[in-house]
Chain A
């Protein structure tokens, strides 16, 4: 057998395989081992290799596409034996999906593939690119080509991976507690649908997730065509009537406002946490940070909000105002501006009812600033605010001439409201007994619905309830038929971003536990339940785009999949009509009056963060993620200001009963600096009761238990009463300020005013200059720029973190956790100070405790050139690379913890217990194979993602090139929406990171110890309004420590 024959056979084989789904094609001919222990062994290996090639004619050992080949069967058997508990765990998606970015000729084991898809939350999509190792999705990144993502992610997207492999997910279809099959369900549904269609679908209701998916839209239309009397009701417990209806009040059509912060010199946020939350958080963070470099173009951010948020912490000026009073502020602002020349359009709004709107001087200064920057400023209203505020904001933006520049409008993708009002209609129908079959695809509405709807007992009265959900949660318990939902990474479908850009959602893996998509459920009512979701979405787009011409479609389809976005789907901004301020004033006057009527008692404000509406309640990465402001993990809390806590006689850790309108729920008090007085903020999504959600069960308390439909986001009249119990919250950072005990150490996180930064030789700039550059030493520093034997200048890895861009959104923390297989430790171990996240986002408050400024500082290993950790390790388990990396050799570590003791940054993490021991078989599939999974008793820390460096090094070596700046990103850098983190070789004079290391704002953390860290920080800058500078910029020193 000649070598050529062998090659020919292999080529043929490859051709066959290339036509197969790429992730399934991985059989490769094994070459004889280069080393052998006996001749027999060598020959055996060779004969096996030859047999594999020659036994059958090329392709004959592969069954036709769609079936399981012999080889595939063997693989399947191997995997399913190993993962018996997972069921059909590792089976590949049966339908063809197309990789993103790189399209290798064949799958090379060990080389991951990247697939573009999209993830929807609150009805809008963000593009993601998922890394897949041999068919196992392991990491989520943003899709750089997607307008909402721009390559970045939120913590939610990063945490998708953990949710995918969650062993607590629903695993079988059950009807009345008995297991059934999808086929069984289809047969039952067919019969039911036929019965229902007899009377036009009267009694058929769908309670769905808000969605802008074109496929689902089409399916819903078709369902309604078959069942004209049926109804679709969308509900999300984080829905915003304001966003849905506000612009309609102003413009008469369903529009969505899209701020463009890169075009805004002045930004006013009215309770809008656009840097921490929302469907366009990544884009807005990027645009915001693009205008925060010190200089004349630096934008100024004003924030009016009740509790401190990521956006509030970035504000140059912040006004604390109760959530319900923000409407009064908006009205007062409109009135103030209405009196200015050229803004008379707002005149009629000055007659609106007045309420509490904070310091009039503040409002006036903001109005002046907005007026001065007409056409290049923007007012943004938050999702919690009522339609009246959104309408007012629309009017103000229009009057200021910002429409078309700093704000544009597009037609809403989500049709109709999805808040309490929408659900109310369904509740009435059910209560009236007119509902026979209720299909629920919304996210756990029994948990998330306002308590006054009493949804659970109502659901039990409906003869047929079908719930498509991921978990055996509260809703599943109340429904007769429960169908396991496919995870977004297991689903075929499509999704639309706020701007209309549409992506095809492609699965990374076949449903682990037989998950079903919403499209399939709807199709079941059309008698198409046996059509695969892949076929559903293909057929739909075939009809949409190509008029059914299959030949042309295939090429386009593959490109859509690999790009992660369909061309020409982004909507053009709508040209909006003039706002009729008079009509608007008439329309919203009663709304404002109603809001202002209730002023007595404490205000309660609900907020959706970390767990969103509760759909991530079983996601340990998100549960253990320290909250941006409070650094609270696991639990939620009744957050309030120090003054309010004192007035109520409670303190952090006290368990109180929150009483509202005869209902009550018990929660733990947490004092938060910067919270408005007379108000309590509570996060939604906690206090889950579903038995099957083993991670999230019983964590925190359920705010929905007191939330009512007519006060969806804010309510007044809350009463607190101490129960006498206390609960120790798991907070990762107990210290609140940079010198809690009054010591005079240099501040770790530096901030300054724009004036100080821009003035050369200012005291501030001189102080900062002392915190960088080499210190005197008796040692000869290592020359990291010295060319090697081949005359090649080595890489010198370095990082810069711009505190002026970091919002503390936590995307980097979860990205790092996912990339580096970092375990979670549980609340008890967080309390003990053993959390494992390699990135700690330090958070400091300065100024008075009631109204402080806040600064965040991400801190991982600083990769010191003269690292104190290295010389104290008795076994050489941490050492220095030629490129300046401080390396951690897990296998060698004996766990003395001396390195951590000697680390001045305390950037090291220790496996105190065997945190990875209880991983389910499915969770094992989640691990990044490029990173060692650490066992008990060893130290770990940030490595600058050394596995990514090495992978890129191999790639470039093979290609004969060098790693160019920007080609290599660490996980935190890649996830960061604000682009606050840069990474690269400091020996490359043109690298971004090198330039930032030379920036005037650069300083080294603990520079005075002489550790020569490779991570440099850039000082935060505040662009103060001179009119307000004296009153709000506090120079009165540190906030007193209050709790912790």
Chain B
């Protein structure tokens, strides 16, 4: 077994860069990837966690105030019935999409580079969906009823939800999405939790990790069934990537409002979701791989691939924008034309539109350049811009469409209140808190899969080596 140097020509041309750096063994991977769990909480983590907790506290304040005072504590009005609440909902749901895409679709497409980042992305999905799930309930006037009247249950009143309403569809779509994402993430974690259990130094930790490892012993049968279950869940998740944001887009597309009543919304929303999801993964992954010592498994190659996905989905989103405007003109509908060519471009909310335009349409094109794709600083800034742009896109769709619709006399401007802003910051706090906890207590990279990948790569090299001989 010689470690013969491998000639570059023998590499798969589609995978020009390394996915695992250095000569890693299972043991070294185990050590390096579990290290951030066993290592005590560092100063940096503690500081970040403090900030995140403070933001989470703001969320608690904002939610309590909203429940105490009512939706009137937000900036919403008539005609702008929906604003920050729904924007945040759509934005967070969108961010979740990268995780599902990476875990499910890339798995089914046998994209090897997904392994190092899938755990990370799945966790993000989960936390993003949790942030998103706050809003459908919280934005209603009477959440204490919404909590169960939205569910189809045989009530004594004999009233069912209105199955024609996209909000009812949302309930099903999002709850399914959350459940499947949770199961998928947890299932992937089980072998790693077992590894944590086995390497635990204290009894308490062993018991806790053992509980969640659900008796995993790593037998052949376990592996066989695990593989099947994982594949099945991947199969289940795949349509969700498309369906969830499609259904979320129906909230708008099914209405009669100019700017909402748009048939291109489903694919355009899905593309936008993946776009923002990958941006969010990049935003978090770049510091994480730096500070958690994951550079050898989350390589430049991974980042580059994510940039390519952002470039592709960014252009899909741009196409969506172009089509919206084209149809507004081509349909001859004066309300649509008014919405797109007057209100969005020059109306009171025009700065948001142009911010969106810059962030979502212009920014991704930097990823045509390899220098940009491999420069972490550039990727990080671009990914943040994309997240801002995608938030602005939802603002454009929700608020800008609502504040000037059909009858000019009903038009009214919108401005958020401190509660709106605090809620938004608060959800970022919730997300960050959960994410930091995840990084602290659970392996951020799917160790099992990375090991598997290592073996696969090794075998492939052996095979190539054998061929060469």
The CA of A733 and the CA of B410, in the complex, are separated in Å by 7
Contact, CB under 8 Å: B78 / A905: no
Contact count band on A: 35 or more
Query: Does B72 touch A at the CB level, under 8 Å?
Result: yes
Query: Does A431 touch B at the CB level, under 8 Å?
Result: no
Which chain A residue lies CB-closest to B166?
A872
Which chain A residue lies CB-closest to B412?
A833
The distance from the CB of A481 to the nearest CB of chain B, in whole angstroms, is 44
The CA of A740 and the CA of B81, in the complex, are separated in Å by 22
Query: Does A902 touch B at the CB level, under 8 Å?
Result: yes
Residues in A neighbouring B78, C-beta threshold 8 A = 833-834, 900, 906, 908-910
The CA of A898 and the CA of B164, in the complex, are separated in Å by 13
Residues in A neighbouring B245, C-beta threshold 8 A = none
Residues in A neighbouring B404, C-beta threshold 8 A = 741
Residues in B neighbouring A83, C-beta threshold 8 A = none
Contact, CB under 8 Å: A868 / B256: yes
Contact, CB under 8 Å: A875 / B149: yes
Residues in A neighbouring B70, C-beta threshold 8 A = 911-914, 936-937
Which of A305-313, A315-323, A888-896, A944-952 sits within the interface? A888-896
The distance from the CB of A30 to the nearest CB of chain B, in whole angstroms, is 29
Which of A440-448, A839-847, A924-932 sits within the interface? A839-847
Residues in A neighbouring B69, C-beta threshold 8 A = 913
Query: Does A344 touch B at the CB level, under 8 Å?
Result: no
Q: Which 7 A-B pairs have the closest CB atoms?
A: A895-B141, A937-B141, A897-B81, A833-B77, A912-B72, A913-B72, A743-B338
Contact, CB under 8 Å: A902 / B255: yes
Query: Does A742 touch B at the CB level, under 8 Å?
Result: yes
For chain A, residues 198 to 247, give those with C-beta under 8 angstroms from any C-beta of chain B: none
The CA of A735 and the CA of B347, in the complex, are separated in Å by 13
The distance from the CB of A1044 to the nearest CB of chain B, in whole angstroms, is 10
A449-475: CB near B (< 8 Å → 1, else 0) gives: 000000000000000000000000000
Question: What are 29 A-B residue pairs whose CB atoms fall within 8 Å in the complex?
Answer: A741-B343, A741-B347, A741-B404, A743-B338, A748-B407, A829-B72, A834-B72, A872-B165, A874-B162, A876-B162, A892-B149, A893-B142, A894-B145, A894-B146, A896-B141, A897-B82, A898-B82, A898-B165, A898-B167, A900-B78, A901-B81, A908-B78, A910-B141, A912-B70, A936-B141, A936-B142, A937-B141, A938-B142, A1006-B406
The CA of A912 and the CA of B405, in the complex, are separated in Å by 21
The CA of A893 and the CA of B78, in the complex, are separated in Å by 17
Query: Does B110 touch A at the CB level, under 8 Å?
Result: no
| Option from A738, A832, A896, A913 in Cβ contact (under 8 Å) with B146 | A896
For chain A, residues 841 to 883, give those with C-beta under 8 angstroms from any C-beta of chain B: 842-844, 857, 859, 868, 871-876
The CA of A612 and the CA of B300, in the complex, are separated in Å by 76
Query: Does A527 touch B at the CB level, under 8 Å?
Result: no
Contact, CB under 8 Å: B72 / A872: no
Query: Does B323 touch A at the CB level, under 8 Å?
Result: no
The CA of A742 and the CA of B337, in the complex, are separated in Å by 11
Residues in B neighbouring A900, C-beta threshold 8 A = 78-79, 81
Contact, CB under 8 Å: B162 / A911: no
For chain B, residues 156 to 215, give those with C-beta under 8 angstroms from any C-beta of chain A: 159-162, 164-168, 171
Residues in A neighbouring B143, C-beta threshold 8 A = 894
The CA of A910 and the CA of B142, in the complex, are separated in Å by 12
Query: Does A904 touch B at the CB level, under 8 Å?
Result: yes
Additional 19 contacts, C-beta under 8 A, given A734-B413, A871-B162, A902-B255: A740-B411, A741-B347, A741-B404, A743-B338, A743-B342, A833-B412, A833-B414, A859-B407, A871-B165, A872-B255, A874-B162, A892-B149, A894-B143, A895-B146, A897-B82, A909-B78, A936-B72, A937-B142, A1009-B256
Which chain A residue lies CB-closest to B332?
A744
| Option from B162, B343, B409 in Cβ contact (under 8 Å) with A733 | B409
Query: Does A737 touch B at the CB level, under 8 Å?
Result: yes
Which A residues lie at the B interface, using CB under 8 A?
Answer: 733-735, 737-746, 748, 829, 832-834, 840, 842-844, 857, 859, 868, 871-876, 892-898, 900-902, 904-906, 908-914, 936-939, 1005-1006, 1009, 1011
Residues in B neighbouring A872, C-beta threshold 8 A = 162, 164-167, 254-255
The distance from the CB of B168 to the nearest CB of chain A, in whole angstroms, is 5
Residues in B neighbouring A829, C-beta threshold 8 A = 72
Residues in B neighbouring A741, C-beta threshold 8 A = 338, 342-343, 346-347, 404
Contact, CB under 8 Å: A898 / B407: no
Contact, CB under 8 Å: A735 / B408: yes
Query: Does B150 touch A at the CB level, under 8 Å?
Result: yes
| Option from A842, A901, A938 in Cβ contact (under 8 Å) with B407 | A842
Contact, CB under 8 Å: B405 / A833: no
Which B residues lie at the A interface, using CB under 8 A?
Answer: 69-72, 75-82, 139-143, 145-146, 149-150, 159-162, 164-168, 171, 251, 254-257, 334-335, 337-338, 342-343, 346-347, 402, 404-414
Greatest chain A CB density within 10 A among B79, B80, B338, B407 is at B407
The CA of A832 and the CA of B76, in the complex, are separated in Å by 8
Interface majority SS on B: helix, strand, loop or mixed? Answer: loop
Contact, CB under 8 Å: B75 / A832: yes
Contact, CB under 8 Å: B412 / A742: no
Using A872-B254, A876-B161, A909-B78 as known contacts, say yes or no to A894 and B140 having CB atoms under 8 A apart.
yes
Which chain A residue lies CB-closest to B164?
A871
Which chain B residue lies CB-closest to A894?
B146
Contact, CB under 8 Å: A876 / B140: no
The distance from the CB of A887 to the nearest CB of chain B, in whole angstroms, is 14
Which chain A residue lies CB-closest to B143?
A894
The distance from the CB of A546 to the nearest CB of chain B, in whole angstroms, is 56
Contact, CB under 8 Å: A740 / B141: no
| Option from B140, B164, B406 in Cβ contact (under 8 Å) with A896 | B140
Greatest chain A CB density within 10 A among B145, B257, B342, B347 is at B145
Residues in B neighbouring A904, C-beta threshold 8 A = 256-257, 405-407
The CA of A270 and the CA of B407, in the complex, are separated in Å by 34
| Option from B82, B171, B335, B408 in Cβ contact (under 8 Å) with A901 | B82
Which chain B residue lies CB-closest to A835?
B78
Residues in A neighbouring B257, C-beta threshold 8 A = 901-902, 904
Contact, CB under 8 Å: B256 / A742: no
| Option from B256, B338, B409 in Cβ contact (under 8 Å) with A842 | B409
Residues in B neighbouring A909, C-beta threshold 8 A = 78
Residues in A neighbouring B337, C-beta threshold 8 A = 743-744
The CA of A904 and the CA of B409, in the complex, are separated in Å by 12
The distance from the CB of B349 to the nearest CB of chain A, in whole angstroms, is 12
Residues in A neighbouring B256, C-beta threshold 8 A = 868, 902, 904, 1009, 1011
Using A901-B81, A908-B78, A913-B70 as known contacts, say yes or no to A739 and B408 having CB atoms under 8 A apart.
yes
The distance from the CB of A888 to the nearest CB of chain B, in whole angstroms, is 13
Using A743-B334, A833-B80 as known contacts, say yes or no to A734 and B412 having CB atoms under 8 A apart.
yes
Contact, CB under 8 Å: A843 / B409: yes
Which chain A residue lies CB-closest to B345?
A741
Which chain A residue lies CB-closest to B251?
A898
The distance from the CB of B450 to the nearest CB of chain A, in whole angstroms, is 44
Contact, CB under 8 Å: B410 / A874: no
Contact, CB under 8 Å: B410 / A873: no
Contact, CB under 8 Å: A875 / B408: no
Contact, CB under 8 Å: A874 / B167: yes
| Option from B142, B410, B413 in Cβ contact (under 8 Å) with A906 | B410
Residues in B neighbouring A868, C-beta threshold 8 A = 255-256
Residues in B neighbouring A905, C-beta threshold 8 A = 406-407, 410
Contact, CB under 8 Å: B406 / A734: no
Contact, CB under 8 Å: B142 / A738: no
Contact, CB under 8 Å: A895 / B161: no
The CA of A746 and the CA of B408, in the complex, are separated in Å by 11
| Option from A744, A840, A896, A897 in Cβ contact (under 8 Å) with B409 | A840
Contact, CB under 8 Å: A894 / B342: no
Using A748-B407, A895-B71 as known contacts, say yes or no to A876 and B160 having CB atoms under 8 A apart.
yes
Residues in A neighbouring B159, C-beta threshold 8 A = 875-876, 892
Contact, CB under 8 Å: B76 / A912: yes
Which chain B residue lies CB-closest to A1005?
B407
| Option from A743, A896, A939 in Cβ contact (under 8 Å) with B139 | A896
The distance from the CB of B335 to the nearest CB of chain A, in whole angstroms, is 6
The distance from the CB of B248 to the nearest CB of chain A, in whole angstroms, is 13
